[in-house]
Structure 1
Amino acid sequence: MQPNSNNIVVLRAEEEWQRAGAYSVRIQGMNRLHHISLREEFDEHDGDGTKYIVLLDAGYPVATCRFFETVPGHVTLGRVVVLSEYRGRKLGVMAVCEAEKWIAECGYSVIDIESRIEAVQFYEKLGYVRVDNSVVRSGVFDCIRMWKSLPAR
C-alpha cells in the first residue's frame, strides 16, 4: 500500500472498532518501534471518557491522538502517533487540528500536552507555548510541558 495523504479519512473514534484503530497505530508506532511495553503505552487514561482521533488511509489506521479532561475546562492531548511510513505528510498536524476542533466543540478552553523534546517545534508551529523549560519524564521520554488556549466560543 502506497501512503497517500489525499485519501485520508478522519474518524472521531466513538465506537470500539474505531478505538481499535487508534490502539493499532499506537502498538505499531510505540510498542513495536520504540519497544515501549503495552502497560506503559496504555495507561489509566485509556478508557471511558477518553476521546480518540484516528486517520485512515483506504481503511487502514495510520495516525492517531487522544484527549481527556483533567480539570474542568482543561484537557490533556497526547499519544500523537503517525506510522513511520506516513511521516512527512502532515498527518500529525491533521490529527491534532481535528482533535482541537472536537475539543472546542466539547467546550474546553485549554489544552495541555507533555511534548517529547524532539516534537516541541512541531507543537510550537501549531500555537502551543512552553510552560517553562523544565524537562519532565513521561514514560520513557524526556518531555517539555506545553499548553494552548482555545478561542472563546
Structure 2
Amino acid sequence: MNDARVELVSWSATPALRDIRQRVFVDEQHVPPSLEWDEHDLSAVHFQLLVNEQPAGTARLLRDGHIGRVAILPDYRGLGLGNLLMREVMRHAQELGHRHLELSAQTHAQRFYERLGFIRCSEPYMDAGIAHIDMRWSADTQSQAELPPIEFVSPGSFSIHNPEQQAKRYSTHLPYQLGEQRDLIEIDEEHALAHACHLVLQARRRLTISSPEQAMWLFHRRDFIDCCEQFIATHPKGSIRVLVNQVTADFTQGHSLSSLQHRFPSLCEIRKRHPDLAREPQVYLLADDSGILMFPQALQPQGFVRYNSPDQVRRWQASFDEHWSRSLSDQGLRRFTL
C-alpha cells in the first residue's frame, strides 16, 4: 500500500502504541494487563505503522534482538501490512548489528513468520492463555533463492567503463555550530541521532562517550558509526574514548563502536568502568570542550543537547576522566580486537 509507512517512535511520546496494544491484546485477546505492560517498554525500540497517517499497528525490538508486541488493528488486517511492519523491524535490527532475532509467536501465525525466514525452535506452550511457539531468525542461514538459468548469446567484445563510486557518507544540515549556540535543546529518540552526528562531524580533537551500551538504539546506529569514521579520517590526531559499564554480546556485534576500536586501535579506545565505582545513571557524549548530548536517565530516551556549554563539558569530562583512570580492559573486547 503506497499510503502505509513504518516509523521509529518514542514510547513515552506516542500514546497510540499503548492504545493499539490495549485494543488488540487486552481487549480482543484478553491478555491480563499485568502481563501486557512491563519494564522493557522504556528501553525497547518502538515502531508505529501508519496508514493514511492513522496509527494501524505497532511492534517493539528489545536490546537482545527479541521482537515482540506485534499488533495490527482489526480494520487493517489482511492487507499485507504485518509483512511491511515486520520487514522494517528486521531491517532496523540488522542495521543495529543484530544477526540473530527471536520472537514468541502465537501458533496460528507460524506460517506468517516462516515466510519471513523464522524457524520454529520449540514445542507449543501456553502464555497468557494463548498457545505460542518460539521462533528464531539468523542472518547466517539466509540465502538468495537461485535464479533460473537464462539463455545468453554474447554480442562480441566491447569495452566497459565503470567509474569508481564512493559510498555516500552521512551528513547533517542542522543550523547549530559547535562552540557557538548556548541554548539547551530538548531531544528524544526521534531527534537524538541527528544531533549526535552533528556534534561528531564538527568535533576536531576529542569525543567522549559514557555508557553507550545503555543507549545502543543511538550509538549502535550505522549513521553514527559512519560519522565517527569521518571524524577519524578528518582528524588523525583526534581521539575517541568510550567507557562502558559492561560489555554485552550485542555491543561487540556488527557495525559498532567495538568495530571502530578493532580497526583504529590507536584512535578509538573502549574500557570498562571499575566495579568498585558507582555506575552513573547518565548516558552522554562530549565533543571537544563545548558540546554535550545528555540523557539523564539511561532507560528514558529524553534528554538535551548544547553546542556551547564549556562549564558542563568540563564537569562531566572531569567525572569521566576520574572513572577512566581506574577503568579496566575487558576480556571480551580484547578477544574482539585480536
Q: TM-score with structure 1 length normalisation?
A: 0.84
Q: 1:8 aligns with which of 4, 27, 34?
A: 4
Contact 2:11 2:41 in 1 (8 A): no
Residues 3-53 of structure 1, C-alpha deviation per residue, up to 9 Å, x if partnerless? Answer: xx43113111136333x22222111111111222322211232212x0111
Matched, 1:26 2:15: no
What RMSD in Å do the two structures reach over aligned CA positions?
1.8
Structure 1 partner of 2:77: 87
User: Structure 2 stretches of 5 or more lacking a match?
Assistant: 141-253, 256-338
Percent of residue pairs bearing the same amino acid type: 25
Matched, 1:63 2:73: no
Structure 2 partner of 1:46: 41
The 1-side partners of 2:129 and 2:61 are apart by 20
With over 3 angstroms needed to count, the CA separation of the structure-2 counterparts of 1:23 and 1:150, relative to structure 1, is: farther
The 2-side partners of 1:118 and 1:44 are apart by 27
Residues 91-131 of structure 1, C-alpha deviation per residue, up to 9 Å, x if partnerless? Answer: 11111100011101111110011111100011001110011
3-state SS, counterpart of residue 41 of structure 2: coil
Contact 1:114 1:138 in 2 (8 A): no
Residue type of the partner of 1:94?
A: L
Which is greater in Rg? 2
The ranges of structure 1 where at least 4 consecutive aligned residues each deviate by more than 6 angstroms after the TM superposition are: none
Residue type of the partner of 1:23?
A: R
The 1-side partners of 2:16 and 2:26 are apart by 15
The 1-side partners of 2:127 and 2:42 are apart by 19
Residue type of the partner of 2:52?
A: A
The 1-side partners of 2:11 and 2:39 are apart by 19
Residues 32-88 of structure 1, C-alpha deviation per residue, up to 9 Å, x if partnerless? Answer: 11222322211232212x011111123321111111023xxxx11111100111100
Higher relative contact order (CA 8 A, sep 6+): 1
Residue type of the partner of 2:98?
A: Y
Q: Whose strand fraction is larger, Structure 1's or Structure 2's?
A: 1
What number of residue pairs does the alignment pair up?
A: 142
